[in-house]
Structure 1
């Protein structure tokens, strides 16, 4: 969760398998460039191109976030073919697990899954549930398997208020 230009961004990653594949492909040009550098006495231009590819893929990998706007949830990702806005009023259910959240809406009845870290997920769900246009429900899916960290979060917040 980062606040830039007055808007809060909640960062996410794709499902774990896609994230591992993507980050493996993003780091591969660096290792190829380093192995080429080790073999040559001078620095060839191919190494600079490979490092440029790494920088572009690294930047695109961190360009995944949510922004809650007036009536829309804007989803920024590196994929230009994916719909980038969902009406908050059309979100019917949000399933929250330890590793990810899944958004179910009228546009996506099968759901969209996003992996998020613990704190950005808490603040995102909290802000989404408090949004004036949100009419859906938030469901904790695997809270019986592990500790329900939302209870810990709200108990810590209640202690700090007292």
Structure 2
């Protein structure tokens, strides 16, 4: 969760196997460049180009996020051309698990899975539930299997206010 230009972004990642493959491919040119630096005593254009490739791939990899506008939920993916806008009123259900959230809407009737870390997920669900246009339901599907961080957050929050 990062606030940029007054808008809060909730970052997500694709499925774990795709994330491992992508981030491994992202840092591979850095290791190649470092080995070239050890082989040669000077920094060549190839080494600079490999480090620029790593920086560009890191930027693309971090370009996956949600933004909650007044009426729309913007879902940005690694491909800047394919970012989606979903009307919040069309979201029928959100399943929340320990690892991911699954969003069901009129555009995605079978649901779309987004892997998101624990605290950004909590703040994202809270912000979406408090939106006036949201009429769907939020279902905690595996909250009995592992520690329920929503209950922990609210218990901690009520202790601070007392």
* Same fold, judged at TM 0.5 (above): yes
8 Å Cα contact 2:76/2:83 also seen in 1: no
Mean alpha-carbon deviation: is it higher for 49-58 or for 80-89?
80-89
CA RMSD, 1 decimal: 1.3
SS of equivalent to 1:66: strand
1:151 corresponding residue in structure 2: 151
SS of equivalent to 1:8: strand
Distance 1:111 1:53 in 2: 34
Structure 1 residues 4 and 81: alpha-carbon distance in aligned structure 2, compared to 1, 3 A threshold: closer
* Superposition deviation, residue 95 in structure 1: 0.7
TM-score if structure 2 supplies the norm length?
0.94
* Superposition deviation, residue 83 in structure 1: 4.0
Measured against aligned partners, the alpha-carbon deviations of 1:126-152 in whole angstroms (never above 9, x if no partner) come to 110111111111011111111111111
* Structure 2: unaligned runs, 5 residues or longer: none
2:11 corresponding residue in structure 1: 11
TM-score if structure 1 supplies the norm length?
0.94
1:92 corresponding residue in structure 2: 92
Question: Following TM superposition, where does structure 1 have runs of at least 4 consecutive aligned residues deviating by more than 4 angstroms?
Answer: none
1:2 corresponding residue in structure 2: 2
Distance 1:33 1:129 in 2: 47
